[in-house]
């Protein structure tokens, strides 16, 4: 009976997350470990990214900062969530991560507390994001994308049907009403990410 009740509770939580209309009721912890609700960003276009400092995609920090500098005053916010789940490529404290990112790439967008994006301890934010936007597939014309596709297919031939986060620097695009409108895998061209941002900001690109 307890097992049945527990299963029903999990189903109810999952259904509630999917049924939620926007991200604004979700709380996250900022860089000072202070809990804040995402409604603080209401009216902004958001790009949510799980990041790592020792990854082949880490240089994307430079492109993300450029995107931020270009569109911050037009309504864009980039929310950076360091995550150590993929190859343990985000080691160290948040303070160490922040020092590296500011010193190496000059980032000025907010970094939040380290989180998990998959599994039992995953952030509620990522439970919601994945429910709204499934895995979009790696760009197989990209060398790293082809490698990752081969690696995941060896583990599970149907891995593409699983909405879980596959690697560092997966990006979710959220409109100014808090709706999750797109997902970009780490191999996606940043020009496509920029085009998505511009569309939501109603800017010509």
Q: Note if 55 is an active site residue.
A: yes
Rounded Cα gap, residues 86 and 102, in angstroms: 22
Candidate list 55, 83, 101, 198, residue with the active-site label: 55
Concatenating the DSSP letter of every residue in 137-184 gives: ---TTSHHHHHHHHHHHHH-TTGGG--S--STT-EEEE-TTS-EEEEE
Task: Write out the two tokens for 29.
Answer: 């912890």
Instruction: Give the rounded distance of the alpha carbon of 168 from its chain centre.
Output: 8
Rounded Cα gap, residues 42 and 96, in angstroms: 30
Rounded Cα gap, residues 43 and 175, in angstroms: 8
Rounded Cα gap, residues 64 and 49, in angstroms: 10
Which of 61, 171, 57, 43 lies closest to 109, judged by CA? 61
Scanning 28-123, the segments in alpha helix (DSSP H) are 60-71, 94-105
Active site residues: 55
């Amino acid at each position: 009976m307890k097992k049945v009740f527990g299963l029903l509770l999990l189903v109810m939580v999952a259904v509630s997350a999917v049924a939620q209309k926007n991200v604004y009721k979700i709380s996250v912890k900022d860089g000072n470990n202070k809990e804040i609700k995402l409604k603080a960003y209401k009216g902004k276009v958001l790009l949510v990214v799980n990041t790592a400092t020792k990854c082949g995609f880490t240089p994307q920090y430079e492109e993300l900062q450029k995107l931020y500098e270009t569109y911050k005053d037009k309504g864009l916010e980039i929310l950076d969530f360091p995550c150590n789940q993929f190859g343990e490529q985000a080691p160290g404290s948040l303070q160490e991560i922040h020092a590296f990112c500011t010193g190496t790439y000059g980032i000025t967008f907010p970094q939040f507390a380290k989180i998990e994006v998959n599994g039992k301890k995953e952030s509620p934010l990522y439970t919601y994001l994945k429910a709204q936007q499934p895995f979009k597939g790696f760009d197989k014309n990209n060398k790293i994308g082809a490698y990752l596709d081969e690696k995941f297919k060896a583990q599970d031939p149907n891995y593409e049907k699983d909405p879980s986060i596959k690697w560092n620097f997966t990006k979710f695009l959220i409109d100014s009403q808090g709706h999750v409108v797109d997902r970009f895998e780490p191999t996606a061209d940043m020009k496509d990410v920029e085009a998505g941002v511009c569309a939501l900001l109603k800017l010509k690109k």
